């Protein structure tokens, strides 16, 4: 007797780029040969569960459990379920989320690498994950030896954009400059840039902004284009589908949280600045950023800025917390990670594009820095 296809409900909105990435990852899992009958309707972020779900009879559900209405509906359904939201819940589900701590580490590193000693966070109190970001970002800033300026977000702010805009304006005007700000999401980043433009606050010289989710269209429409942390939503969706498949086959899966590492930083003009008071150190950093993938060494940097190696090393360590060589290597490794995750390029092609002398050297440096080989990293991070 042929087994009927499992019926799976997807309670995932289509209104943002992260959720659409989750859906792409689920599709990738299904395309590998899983015979699911998908039930899905277009939803918005934080919406109540769709009316059809209350009387639906199926075998499993993957849900963005953003509120107690969705949580209660999933519990009442009494079927295997996987959560793909980072919001706080009163009931435990197997959960797959973007690694908030890693996201905040990338955001902090991105701003600190640009020389900022004043840092801010602009969250949105409507979302539980925003508070996770604030906590982890504060920890990173404290570890760097600095204090964090936080926007006092309230749930009522979103009811009236003009009032919220005035509140953001007061906050931005009162901040010491220059300052680097991590916005909890790209929409929040876009709002900050809009206020800066209206108030004549220069971006990125006075205020630099990095967002989260890397909605490419939204980020490019910002003025200036918004830098953003790119999560690996397709991988999260793929892993959630894999867990649900096990649950529906009767495999016991613990109610633990699986955090998915972000892809990296998509740097755009909103953070294209080097906020240090040393023109030569800034020039050296800018040269490294522009030429890191061309096989340059520290000697090439010295030729570009005309200073001794000792002085360059000392100034770089003072303002950026690392040596010029470490910065060149860091940029190359981050680019390798991005290419491993987002392309099918062979290792030799990646080595050539990123400025490594060969695959062996690339692999050795990659494993030294990350503790895993490039090929193992690709298997873990990519969705085919």
What pLDDT digit, counting tens, does each position of 305-348 carry?
988 999 999 999 988 888 999 999 999 999 999 899 888 899 99
Question: Residue 326 and residue 206: Cα distance in Å, rounded?
Answer: 27
Q: What is the pLDDT of residue 88?
A: 67
Question: Residue 65 and residue 75: Cα distance in Å, rounded?
Answer: 11
Domains 7-98+233-260 and 279-381 share a fold: no
Q: What is the pLDDT of residue 2?
A: 46
Q: What is the pLDDT of residue 91?
A: 79
Confidence of residue 1 (pLDDT cuts 50, 70, 90): very low
The pLDDT of residue 383 is above 80: no
Decide if domain 279-381 falls under CATH 1.10.10.60.
Answer: yes
**Could you count the other beta carbons within 10 Å of the beta carbon of residue 34?**
16
Give the HSE-up count for residue 314: Cα atoms under 13 Å, Cβ half-sphere.
5
Q: How far is CA 21 from CA 15, 17, 134, 213, 384, in A?
A: 11, 6, 24, 10, 13
What pLDDT digit, counting tens, does each position of 72-112 carry?
999 999 999 999 998 767 778 999 999 999 999 999 999 99
Average pLDDT over residues 277-302: 92
Give the chain's count of helices (H) and strands (E): 15, 12
Q: What is the pLDDT of residue 34?
A: 84
What pLDDT digit, counting tens, does each position of 143-202 carry?
999 999 999 998 888 888 899 999 999 999 999 999 999 999 999 999 999 999 999 999
The residue ranges of every structural domain in the chain are: 7-98+233-260, 100-232+265-271, 279-381
Of the candidates 231, 216, 144, 224, the residue with the CA atom closest to the CA atom of residue 184: 231
**Could you count the other beta carbons within 10 Å of the beta carbon of residue 259?**
16
Could you write out the DSSP letters of every residue in 60-98?
Answer: EEEE---SHHHHHHHHHHTS-EEE---S--SS---EEEE
Instruction: Calculate ∠ Cα 53-56-59, nearest 5°.
Output: 110
Question: Residue 50 and residue 47: Cα distance in Å, rounded?
Answer: 8
Could you write out the DSSP letters of every residue in 92-138?
Answer: ---EEEE-HHHHHHHHHHHHHTTT-SSEEEE--TT-HHHHHHHHHHH
The pLDDT of residue 45 is above 80: no
**What's the fold here for domain 7-98+233-260?**
Rossmann fold (3.40.50)
What pLDDT digit, counting tens, does each position of 205-255 carry?
999 999 999 999 999 999 999 999 999 999 999 999 999 999 999 998 888
Could you write out the DSSP letters of every residue in 154-170?
Answer: -GGGGG-HHHHHHHHHH
Average pLDDT over residues 113-130: 92
Confidence of residue 49 (pLDDT cuts 50, 70, 90): confident
| Tokens matching residue 135 | 């906590």
What pLDDT digit, counting tens, does each position of 339-352 carry?
998 888 999 999 99
Question: Residue 9 and residue 56: Cα distance in Å, rounded?
Answer: 9
Q: What is the pLDDT of residue 66?
A: 84
Chain centroid offset of residue 325 CA:
26
| Tokens matching residue 225 | 């284009």
Strand order across the 37-40 sheet: 37-40, 7-11, 60-63, 81-83, 95-98, 257-260
Q: What is the pLDDT of residue 67?
A: 84
Q: What is the pLDDT of residue 264?
A: 92
Average pLDDT over residues 374-379: 91
Q: What architecture is the 100-232+265-271 domain classified under in CATH?
A: 3-Layer(aba) Sandwich (3.40)
Confidence of residue 3 (pLDDT cuts 50, 70, 90): low
Question: Residue 171 and residue 238: Cα distance in Å, rounded?
Answer: 40
């Amino acid at each position: 007797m042929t087994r009927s296809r499992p019926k799976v409900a997807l309670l995932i909105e289509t209104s943002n780029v992260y959720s659409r990435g989750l859906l792409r990852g689920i599709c990738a899992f299904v395309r590998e040969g899983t015979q699911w009958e998908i039930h899905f309707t277009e939803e918005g972020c934080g919406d109540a569960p769709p009316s059809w779900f209350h009387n639906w009879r199926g075998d499993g559900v993957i849900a963005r459990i953003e509120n107690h209405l969705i949580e209660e509906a999933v519990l009442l359904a009494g079927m295997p379920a996987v959560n793909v939201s980072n919001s706080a819940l009163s009931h435990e589900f197997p959960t797959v989320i973007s690694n908030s701590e890693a996201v905040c580490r990338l955001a902090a590193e991105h701003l600190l690498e640009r020389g900022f000693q004043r840092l801010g966070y602009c969250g949105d109190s409507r979302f539980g994950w925003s508070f996770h970001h604030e906590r982890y970002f504060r920890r990173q800033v404290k570890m760097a030896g600095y204090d964090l300026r936080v926007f006092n977000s309230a749930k009522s702010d979103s009811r009236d954009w003009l009032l919220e805009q005035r509140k953001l304006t007061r906050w931005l005007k009162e901040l010491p400059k220059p300052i680097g700000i991590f916005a909890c999401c790209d929409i929040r980043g876009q709002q900050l840039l809009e206020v800066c433009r209206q108030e004549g606050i220069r971006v990125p010289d006075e205020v630099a902004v990095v967002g989260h989710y890397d909605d490419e269209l939204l980020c490019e429409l910002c003025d200036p284009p918004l830098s953003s942390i790119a999560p690996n939503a397709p991988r999260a969706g793929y892993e959630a589908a894999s867990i649900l498949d096990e649950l529906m086959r009767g495999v016991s899966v613990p109610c633990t949280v699986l955090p998915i590492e972000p892809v990296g930083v998509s740097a755009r003009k909103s953070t294209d600045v080097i906020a240090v008071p040393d023109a030569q150190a800034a020039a050296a950093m800018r040269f490294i950023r522009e030429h890191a993938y061309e096989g340059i060494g520290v000697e090439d940097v010295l030729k570009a800025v005309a200073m001794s190696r000792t002085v360059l090393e000392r100034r770089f360590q003072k303002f950026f917390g690392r040596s010029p060589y470490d910065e060149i290597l860091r940029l190359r490794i981050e680019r390798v990670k991005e290419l491993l995750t987002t392309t099918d390029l062979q290792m030799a092609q990646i080595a050539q594009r990123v400025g490594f002398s060969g695959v062996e050297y690339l692999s050795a440096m990659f494993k030294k820095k990350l503790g895993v080989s490039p090929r193992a990293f690709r298997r873990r991070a990519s969705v085919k």
